[in-house]
Chain A
Amino acid sequence: MKLLKELSINLIIGLNALILFLLVFETQIEIPEILRVAGRTHPLLLHFPIVVLLLAFVLKFFEKYFSIEEAAFRKIVRFLLFAGALTSAATVILGLFLSQEEGYSGDLLQWHKWIGVAVSFISCGLLWGFQENISSKFLKTGMAISSIAVLVAGHFGASLTHGEDFILAPLSSGAADENFVDLTQAVVYNDLVRPVLKEKCYSCHNPDKAKGQLVMTDLDALLKGGKTGKLFVAGNSDESLIMERLLLDVNHKHRMPPKGKAPLTEEETALIRIWIDQGASFSAKLSDYASGDEIHQIVKSMYAGGPAPEVYDFEAADETRVNNLNTVYRLVSPIAYESPGLEVTFFSKSNFDTKSFEEIKPVANQIVYLNLSGMNVTDTEMKLIAGFPNLRQLNVNYSEVTDKGLKELSTLKHLNSIMVAGTKVSVGGITSLTGLPNLKRIYAWNTGINSADSKSLAKKYPGVLVDTGALETDKDTLTLNNPQFLPKNAFFRESFQLTIKHPIHGVDLIYTVGGSNPDSVQPKKYEKPIFIKENTIVKAKAEKGGWISSKVVEKNYQRSSIKPDVFSLKTTPAPQHKGRGGASLFDLIEGSTDILYASDGNWLGYSNQDFIVEMGFKKPVVLKEVLLSTLTSTALESFPPSEIEIWVAYGGAPLSLAGRIKIDMPGEKSPIERKIIACPTVNNQAVTSLKIIAKPLSKLPSWHKNKGKAAWFFLDEILIN
């Protein structure tokens, strides 16, 4: 007998200890699945303590009405007390588990919890007292308390699960949900201003605790103001006490709310200001104000950015399951942190098939956005899609979807936009969609539907926008862009193949060789690369039906048949224009002229110093012409050399001056261009070494803005034939 006592007492103490523990570490506790289950039996178990404790109480109170033999009676009561203590302790623990789950919080819970705990402790105490045979007066009161407690706790519990004032609800008219504000209907004071006051002021200015004798909770009191006087002057915020207090410096002793309390946000303050300035009406609606009015902006920024994001009423899918659905070709992810909705996107047509699509079925209920753009989605998949009840947006652009497939979608009550651009769907299919209750937008560009159809649809279903896309651009005519020449370089050795290209498929390329204009003389149509072996001017343009022909482009190809076997620069070019040294002069690469100044690594630049290069030829060459490709640009102070000398030698003989010419300078208005300058001709004599000296212009001409300064001399190639 004693044993049982010990055993169960041990147990009861243990459990109560556990209760204490759970209370202390509540914030850190995480309930494993299995215990959750246990926790959920709380509502079931809680009935035992209620019954048992009440029973014990009743028995004890009406002791004398039962004619039971003393000992037995004691046993019964003790048993009941045991049971009561035990079950209540257990119930409390399970309750604490349950409370860890989502959605249990707030004062109600706190009350319920603490009273429940109290019950457990009291009944534990009672048991103790009973063992110690304390006076039955104490016992009775104790039992009374516990019984009341258990009832109260029960009530709070009920309100928790069935909603506050569940019992009295039928009598009191349900109060509107505070948080939700329908801006279209909102009454400025009641729905916008009052909540602010309630949140930031009521705590100190209510009937129970009227600081500064100010009560704000009811209108009359509000109008009456506090001991410092009226709270506000309708229509004049500057004169209004409340504004003054709100705007005081944080550290000022009259500032409201006082430091430490949450202050009003900018918007909230502004809102109150406007409300007062607009006459502090208690009835005015937000919609009464012109849409441009400041108040709308403020309200908007208070209720962040217009319509709040949609809240989904369905359960979230299991997280790991969602993660496992992700492959490199399939994205399945929550549309936002802690949102049950999923967005699903497929990539890479070649990796898409019905099987890979079916794999997402397990989360069919959560899919909100589905993007199958470019996948070969057929009507089979559409059947499956019909089973995604929460789908909001469906993108099947450039898929195999047909009208038949669209008809499948009649089940998608939430669908609000669908993209079917570039598919075979026709008016029929679209019409079948217009039945969907929430469908707002259909994107049907580049389908069987033309703008005419969409207009008629728009008439029929004003709620739905059917976008059939861009203004028919096919009709307006545009100018073709220019053809391109390949290779790009203007210089060549012996000969080369010239290719003419154009980015747009199906254009005709018309060209001439030898300078005549493609429009004038009988032009050729480009079919295959053109073979070029001497200096040539090529002109070309592009034509295509429905387009305006391109401009004529031209290029002057220069031959440079001989490359010296050895060469060396006798003078080093300026550091910022040293190109790749002598090599640049014989690499057939032209320096560009479309630049502000020459530093593209192809131009050699000289200033204040002569350009001197020596070239050697293994076997003697007969020089027909020697040309310098130079840059003329007044802006860059780049001019042709003032004079050029040519020195030649045969075999070992020393170099001898073979010719010298002066070059006349370009005028003020001359454009930026590459100028090919002929060196003095070396009348057809064979040479093995050749030296060129070019003297840069020493002073810029008088018309130049930097006149007197030494000019530059740029060259990018030496052409020898």
Chain B
Amino acid sequence: MEKNFLERALNVNRRQFFSRASAGIGSLALGSLLIPNLFSGRSDEDEASMVGMPHFAPKAKRIIYMFQSGAPSQLESFDYKPMLRTMMGQDLPESIRQGQRLTGMTADQAKFPLVGSFYDFQQYGKARAWVSDLFPHTAKVVDDICIVKSLFTEAINHDPAITFFQTGAQQGNRPSMGSWLSYGLGSENENLPSFCVLVSKGKGNGQGVYSKLWSNGFLDSVHQGVQFMPGADPVLYMGNPAGTDKQSRRQMLDQLETLNQMQYDKMGDPEIITKIQQYEMAYRMQTSVPEVTDLSNEPDHIIKLYGPDCLVPGTYAANCLLARKLAENGVRFIQLYHQGWDQHGNLPNEMAGQAKDVDQASAALVQDLKQRGLLEDTLVIWGGEFGRTNYCQGKLEFDKYGRDHHPRAFSAWLTGGGVKAGMVYGETDEFGYNVTKNPVHVHDFHATLLHLMGLDHEKLTYRHQGRRYRLTDVAGKVVNDLLA
């Protein structure tokens, strides 16, 4: 160490001596011609230069995130815990709970009676993965997906938890994951938004989604998520006013261009040119978006694959089908939200309804992407913001129990673009309460997604109001085991 230092010092002094000694301004100057930024103060951080393309060869080019808002119970879906049935009604041992905090809803509950799943589980696929009877279609594709049973988070209420999953922080106005990707990778198809949002509602108890979940935060608002609405006008303000059509709109744009150009000649502000281009792009969107959102040409067997609802605008099934089309057309990040998973009571009943909404279409999407080869470079995610308690909230009836929020362990599944298929990752204790193997934190989850998209989550940064921000804040580790 010290030695090194002396060397350095020496070395430097020598160099200084040289630079003083360097005779002949001529050659000095001559040399100076070779130094591009001798006089400029700019520090060349590659951070900036890497924006707009993957840092390394990506496994996935786009993401479809089927977010199950409200937190579906892992114990009635993918985390099979027979023990809870045998111990039905007995109190959750403190040794397991380890002082985990409770929501206000169960905090004053005197007992925490364990309750097993009302639904049975079977094993499927090469991995012999357990899947509950509520998800027969998902069960058919287990060999294509990777079920993660060891997710955990800190938040215990919906708003912070969803915000955490979507923006990497529980509070505040951070950019959404989709915005980060749009910022980091740029758009693939310029004629569509690179970050699209599709929202649907289940009959179950819902918690709502908020536009801040797809907000661009401090990033440029071109990275803002664009919500596709059911019905005639899929993107807000996209439809031409009545009494006008493509030609007349073209007419108008031409006039605008002429006049704006005049203004530019006068004021010389480049923003004017940008404005002209933005109008042109808007014009192109008006053609490309309806093309994409038109589902009328889908053949009958595709309709059957997704289920008849896939032609009813605004349903989850329709959104899944639409998601596939958007993926085909080069949209980077397609965010689905299905609401209604917050089963504090009457869980067996409500969850059955929710599962019916999503099971077939989710599996269909995987199937459909696969048969088109799109699963090779499309990453698909299914999951909620946290899990649900293994004990009952409210009155315990074997067919009418409820479950409270549980951040410590929950399940989700991923597939496609670089994800190891046919695997079950992570384990929880026999109470399904704590992660016992391979925990995956929300930050790790994000880091892994970015990695699959060819981005180093530590290098994807944005400097705002004097601080560098990351989707993974200051944490996060790529979960290599999930990578194919």
Contact = CB atoms under 8 A, between A and B. Distances in A.
A25 to B, nearest CB: 6
A137 B15 CA distance: 31
Given A17-B28, A337-B55, A470 B451 contact: no
Nearest to B305: A473
B257 to A, nearest CB: 16
Contacts of B49: 337
Nearest to B25: A17
B372 A443 contact: yes
Contacts of B94: none
A470 B368 contact: yes
B34 A29 contact: yes
A348 B288 CA distance: 8
Contact of A17 (B15, B23, B480): B23
Contacts of B19: 20-21, 24
Nearest to A300: B480
B312 A470 contact: no
Contact of B56 (A25, A309, A469, A481): A309
Nearest to A479: B308
Contact of A334 (B30, B53, B481): B53
Which size bracket describes the interface of A in this complex?
Answer: 35 or more
A476 interface: yes
A17 B191 contact: no
Contacts of B300: 474, 546
A336 B31 contact: no
B476 interface: no
B303 interface: yes
Interface string A241-273: 000000000000000001011000000000000
A23 B27 CA distance: 12
Interface residues of B, number: 68
Contacts of A193: none
A28 B56 CA distance: 26
Interface string A487-500: 00000000000000
Nearest to B317: A481
B329 to A, nearest CB: 7
B22 A297 contact: no
Interface in A324-339: 328-329, 331, 333-337, 339
Contacts of B416: none
Interface in A605-652: none
Interface string A16-58: 0110111111001111100100000000000000000000000
B371 A470 contact: yes
A398 B309 CA distance: 25
Interface in B301-335: 301-305, 307-309, 311-313, 328-330
B31 A347 contact: no
B22 A417 contact: no
A480 interface: yes
B1 interface: yes
Contact of A347 (B303, B329, B451): B329
A473 B58 contact: no
A474 B24 CA distance: 86
Interface in B16-68: 18-19, 21-24, 26-28, 30-32, 34-38, 49-50, 53-58, 61
A445 interface: yes
B18 A347 contact: no
Given A18-B30, A310-B57, A347-B191, A480 B308 contact: yes
A348 B309 CA distance: 28
A559 to B, nearest CB: 29
B189 interface: yes
A336 B35 contact: no
Given A28-B35, A30-B34, A503-B312, A373 B328 contact: yes
Given A339-B57, A347-B329, A478-B308, A473 B301 contact: yes
B296 interface: yes
B56 A22 contact: no
A417 B376 contact: yes
B384 interface: no
B422 interface: no
A478 B303 CA distance: 10
A304 interface: yes
A449 B21 CA distance: 79
A504 interface: yes
A103 interface: no
Contacts of B454: 336
A13 B23 contact: yes
A331 B480 contact: no
A478 B368 CA distance: 18
B392 interface: no
B288 A29 contact: no
A441 B376 contact: yes
Contacts of A470: 301, 305, 367-368, 371
Given A18-B27, A21-B27, A479-B308, A331 B371 contact: no
A467 B35 contact: no
Contacts of A28: 35-38
Contacts of B304: 473-474, 476, 478
A29 B31 CA distance: 8
Contact of A21 (B28, B58, B303, B377): B28
B188 interface: yes
A170 to B, nearest CB: 36
B28 A336 contact: no
A397 B372 contact: yes
B284 interface: yes
B70 to A, nearest CB: 15
Given A24-B22, A300-B481, A305-B478, A421 B58 contact: no
Interface string A56-69: 00000000000000
Residue from B32, B140, B304, B373 with most neighbouring chain A CB atoms (10 Å): B373
Contacts of A334: 53
Contacts of B311: 503-504
Interface string A460-481: 0000000111111110101111
Nearest to B26: A14
Interface string B76-93: 000000000000000000
Interface string B449-484: 001001000000000000000000000001011011
A28 to B, nearest CB: 5
Contacts of B36: 28, 30
Residue from A30, A305, A476, A479 with most neighbouring chain B CB atoms (10 Å): A305
Given A347-B189, A504-B308, A32 B480 contact: no
Nearest to A507: B308
A467 B38 contact: no
Interface string A537-555: 0000000001100000000
Contacts of A22: 31, 34
Contact of B371 (A35, A418, A421): A421
A478 B305 CA distance: 10
A374 interface: yes
Contacts of B302: 473
6 contacts: A17-B28, A23-B15, A336-B58, A474-B301, A503-B312, A547-B308
Given A20-B21, A336-B58, A393-B377, 5 more contacts: A14-B26, A18-B24, A24-B22, A348-B191, A472-B301
Closest 7 interchain pairs by CB? A469-B371, A443-B373, A419-B373, A445-B371, A18-B27, A503-B311, A309-B57
